[in-house]
Chain A
Amino acid sequence: MTLSILAIIGVTGAALGIGTYGVRLARTTSDLFVASRAVSPWWNAAAVSGEYLSAASFLGVAGLMLKFGASALWLPIGFTAGYLTLLLFVAAPLRRFGSYTIPDFAEARLPARYMRLLAAGIVLLISGCYLVPQLKGAGVTLRAVTGAPYWVGVAIVAVIVALNVVLGGMRGVTYVQAFQYWVKVFAIAIPAILLLIHVGGLPAQAALFGNELPSTGPNGMVVELDRPRTLTFPDTGETRVVPAGQLRLPPNTAVPVAAGIEAQTGDEWSRPVSESGRGSPLLIYSLLLATFLGTMGLPHILVRFYTNPDGSAARRTTVRVLGLLGAFYLFPAVYGLLGRAYTAELYVTGDTDSVVLLVPAATWPGLGGEILAAIVAAGAFAAFMSTASGLLVSIAGTVSHDVWPGKRRRGRARFRVAAAFGMVVPCLLALATREVDISVLVGWAFALAASTFCPLLLLGVWWPRLTAKAAAAGMLAGAGVATAMIATGLIGDFPEDTALGAILTQPAAVSVPIAFGTMVLLSLRERAPDVGALMTALHVPEHARA
């Protein structure tokens, strides 16, 4: 525990240190917004990957795998596929167009003041929905690892991230995020490899891949419950409320599961694709589509393309990101597998999201496990901080550049004020929603990104006939349908492992075609706009512009 505290202090201190170094580099407005478009591909690729690998990737993939089974392993594929599509369709043209923010691009490509405001509103909504869970994750993790009160973790991440962004802007944050990528890759890979060597292969094969349920083992199991839980006992099939406190389970019985978790045999659990439930092909395709299209529209990722020196460098950066993400995503599955063998008590508490944090000490009791636990805790903090920094840059850039107009030379001061205040609201929300499950916010952010910015960028870059009115109508239609479907899913409380429930929590498969269709049909009804100069700006390579 002491080691974990030291590791977290180390990684947050290093972030602050590198950020302070970056402050000296951040002199101009362009430094703050787009790092003066001078970040080399390797630095930028590490920074993009650092920004993208959030709590959802570091803790969430393994947690969902433990909870629902190997079907969760499709998530990283969808995330990475979104990046590849950005490379194919968006990276170089977006950089060549030379905007500061996504709303900037929207108004320049489709000349109408309302395009800027609409895009700005959506950027703020998506970034806010995504920032609150990062802060919550920090609070929960610090409490789980060190026993500190929830607000301490939230406050540490909020203050350090705000300081780095206010002082260093995009320029300073880029170096911090690049550093944090390497922390994360190291923190997930090294413990995974060492733990596998230590145990010499996977134990409890029958519960992992065979026909048995996870068992309490020959000595039974003792679980601390911090609040009452509704548990289902697979051996008897009974479901009852168990009070808070110590729960003693007899030896060699099946581990009871908390509400929302289904007891699965190893064979059911380990199939990436199955006949029914979450593993059914229909639900997998829905998940792949939602993550893939959503990634393409995340504003804090898109704004990163502007930091490249030119369009060709933007392409090279994105290819490197594909390699860096792939290296990271090899490892969450290891924690899912080890977690099922060594931390089955998480099925009882329902806190499956902490499996990555708890597996090292459970798998390797003693000093070795403690050191590895400290390393993953540091990695988790790097994940919260780097994603939160990217989101705050995106919020501050949009507020100071698009929403709050003023003299251009005052841009620096406005960026800094916007960054400081941009952290206050999400921080208060994170403190207020301590006991509320807000995972729906992340789903909503992804659905909004998929149904608004994804069609806007694809059509805006490649289809000269797109008009401002049609684009605005399409974005509103996509956002409206996505929001309505998610709200219906919340109110109706449909089980997520049915086709209806899945489509209502991941509405992209419906809302994205509606957004595209609206944009195309309405554009075709108007006269083709004259966009020769805009298409030149998007597609002519820099070196041919003399």
Chain B
Amino acid sequence: MSRLPSSDLTEATAHAAVYLRRLRREQLRLALLSLVAFGGAIGALPLILYLLPGLQDMQLLGVPVPIWLVVVPPFPLFLAIGLLEQRRADGLDEAFRELVEEE
């Protein structure tokens, strides 16, 4: 017994809606996780420098360590988190496409 085309369509749409919601949630979770990762690291930096004022007396190439810590490491960190997130987010999109094409 063949199904009516209309029910087929409804079913496909319902599936697609579920997949889409799942994709949106996964992307949001990934984004929030990355936000917590870099927010935690950058948010901790002022506190670390505040709690360890003695770092100021340590010098690297004639410049106090806290200045190095503020000027250099945050930027590679941003780039690394961005790169990881971009790969993972594209991967989630790809998985969604495969799922939809299987239908």
Residues of A within 8 A of B (CB): 70, 73-74, 77, 80-81, 83-85, 87-89, 92, 201-202, 205, 209, 267, 270-273, 281, 284-285, 288, 311-312, 315-316, 318-319, 322-323, 325-327, 329-330, 333, 337, 462, 532, 535-536, 539-541, 543-544
Contact = CB atoms under 8 A, between A and B. Distances in A.
Contacts of B75: 80, 322, 325-327, 329-330
Contact of A81 (B24, B53, B78, B85): B78
24 contacts: A73-B67, A73-B70, A73-B71, A80-B74, A84-B34, A201-B62, A209-B59, A272-B66, A273-B49, A273-B50, A284-B46, A288-B42, A288-B46, A315-B89, A322-B79, A326-B79, A329-B71, A535-B24, A536-B20, A539-B20, A539-B24, A540-B23, A541-B97, A544-B100
Interface in B59-92: 59, 61-64, 66-67, 69-72, 74-76, 78-79, 81-83, 85-86, 89-90
Interface in B3-46: 17, 20, 23-24, 27-28, 30-31, 34-35, 38, 42-43, 46
B47 interface: yes
A315 B86 contact: yes
Contacts, number: 128
B82 A322 contact: yes
Contacts of A288: 42-43, 46
B96 A541 contact: yes
Contacts of A325: 75
Given A539-B27, A540-B20, A70 B67 contact: yes
Given A74-B46, A81-B42, A88-B85, 14 more contacts: A70-B70, A77-B70, A81-B38, A209-B63, A273-B46, A281-B47, A285-B43, A312-B93, A316-B86, A327-B75, A337-B63, A541-B97, A544-B93, A544-B97
A544 B62 contact: no
Interface residues of B, number: 48
Nearest to A317: B86
A21 B8 CA distance: 54
Interface of B: 17, 20, 23-24, 27-28, 30-31, 34-35, 38, 42-43, 46-47, 49-50, 53, 56, 59, 61-64, 66-67, 69-72, 74-76, 78-79, 81-83, 85-86, 89-90, 93-94, 96-97, 100-101
Contact of A535 (B20, B30, B81, B93): B20
Q: Is the interface of A mostly helix, strand, loop or mixed?
A: helix
B31 A89 contact: yes
A273 B47 CA distance: 8
Given A88-B34, A532-B17, A318 B74 contact: no
A73 B63 CA distance: 14
A289 B49 CA distance: 18
Nearest to A544: B97
Given A315-B89, A326-B76, A87 B49 contact: no
A437 to B, nearest CB: 27
A285 B46 contact: yes
Contacts of B82: 84, 87, 318-319, 322
B97 A543 contact: yes
A417 to B, nearest CB: 39
Contacts of B90: 312, 315
A273 B66 contact: yes
Contacts of A315: 86, 89-90
Contacts of B34: 84, 88
Given A541-B93, A544-B93, A267 B86 contact: no
Contacts of B35: 85, 88-89
A541 B101 CA distance: 13
A77 B96 contact: no
A544 B95 CA distance: 10
Contacts of B64: 209, 270-271
